[in-house]
Structure 1
């Protein structure tokens, strides 16, 4: 049976407020990206332990760290970023989570992406080397502007790294906004390597994120297929329906200035949209 998770920082920057809203839903996991107004990568071990206590007290777990790993330019200084990743690995132990989200580096504008294949693979391998011996999965998310922005290159990463620790996250909205047919094309290209799904939809012609099922992603068909095949991983809601604290640091292709302010109401719209799809799968 699938499990529901979410980016709770789109509800509120503060963990206690995130938890109070989530208690009104069936969600008992969070994909930890922002806690108490800090990026997950900036939490100290002590702060992480305190957050874990709060989560435990209310019966919540962490499905994954929504880390910013790999969201730098391929030409940027890598060593401090690798050190940050090693800190995130320590946080994974504190939060008792198996999964960490990563990206595959922004490629210079107007460059030939394929010429950066080797540098990207080299850096991704260093992440895997840092995690060697840990019982975790490093999950690559497709994202606008990074090397793995299209399904073919996401699949290439998986094939070339050839490591059971490395798997994929599927984000239909990010494929759509890249001009890629999310379903069935992207889904079928990467489904064998994908173990985690971000739930958000988009309308390509409007360059806009919308609730699940209201965009070009054919989420009812995709989710129905996964459920019927017995998918037992996470569907993690990432609403992006409104502006929230920290959004600008994560998204480079949205017109953030024109977005309404996010919060509990917009989060619940995203949640109900997903629940409506899942409840109607026959």
Structure 2
């Protein structure tokens, strides 16, 4: 059975408040990206200890730490070097928390994957070597603003890369924005490579792509969750809603989307098995 998580800054930059909300919703895990106005990679060792203590206080577990690695241009060599240094720090912090993987991107989109695949493989070699040396996994997020945006592209890239330490962070909402049908087509391309999942819903309204509360968009999450249950996926599914209701807040958007997830899981008869009901 998979576990439910929430990315903390999709609620608030106030980390403790986010943890209160996430615990109240019934998730079991928190994904840590930006908090206290900084990316997690910028935290000191003592601040990471504080993060760990707060998470335990609210009865949660950390799924992973999120950096911005390779959200930069592929030809920017200086930025490439800095991002590798940042990745070293994220791996160090992750290991302090006994975590097994971190998220990574594939550079800002400037054209089709076929035009950049060889260069992308070359740019990834130092981080693949680092991951293999550390025995630590990198999960490539399919990100619509980056070179690898769809499930099909993620499969092609990781097959070419050929490292068991590089796997997929599957994001159906991003695939939708990248003009792929996330389920079943995108998912089928990567289902045996997935180590982590982000959930957000989307739709096209009057010709424009827009984020929606989970269950209120065009991504087939009922089919997606059913497939995950059938596959035996036991990793974390993290809510990254991106949706903010009109005149509302990120917290309200997260609450609405989480209710949407619970509604779908209830239809599938597994909500009580996934939610933290120990309160």
Tell me the distance in 1 between the aligned counterparts of 2:125 and 2:244. 35
2:203 maps to what in 1? 203
So what's the TM-score if we normalise by structure 1?
A: 0.88
CA contact (8 A) 1:105 1:147 kept: yes
Map 1:85-234 to 2 at 5 A. Answer: 85-108=87-110, 111-205=111-205, 206-234=208-236
1:44: Cα distance to partner? Answer: 2.0
Between Structure 1 and Structure 2, how many residues are aligned? 265
Map 1:231-246 to 2 at 5 A. Answer: 231-242=233-244
Structure 2 residues without counterparts, runs of 5 or longer: 270-279
Deviations 1:87-135 (CA, angstroms, capped at 9, x unpaired) = 1111111232112011111133xx4432211221122221121122434
1:26 maps to what in 2? 26
CA contact (8 A) 1:144 1:177 kept: yes
Deviations 1:200-243 (CA, angstroms, capped at 9, x unpaired) = 11103431111222222111011112113322111110011129
Query: 1:185/1:48 Cα in 2 relative to 1: closer, same or farther (>3 Å)?
Result: same
Query: Quick check: 1:266 aligned with 2:253?
Result: yes
Tell me the distance in 2 between the aligned counterparts of 1:151 and 1:106. 17
Tell me the distance in 1 between the aligned counterparts of 2:46 and 2:128. 25
CA contact (8 A) 1:13 1:35 kept: yes
Tell me the distance in 1 between the aligned counterparts of 2:113 and 2:155. 15
So what's the TM-score if we normalise by structure 2?
A: 0.89
Query: Quick check: 1:4 aligned with 2:4?
Result: yes
Structure 1 residues without counterparts, runs of 5 or longer: 244-258
CA contact (8 A) 1:176 1:204 kept: no
1:50 maps to what in 2? 50
CA contact (8 A) 2:215 2:257 kept: no
CA contact (8 A) 1:139 1:167 kept: yes
Query: 1:190/1:233 Cα in 2 relative to 1: closer, same or farther (>3 Å)?
Result: same
1:247 maps to what in 2? none
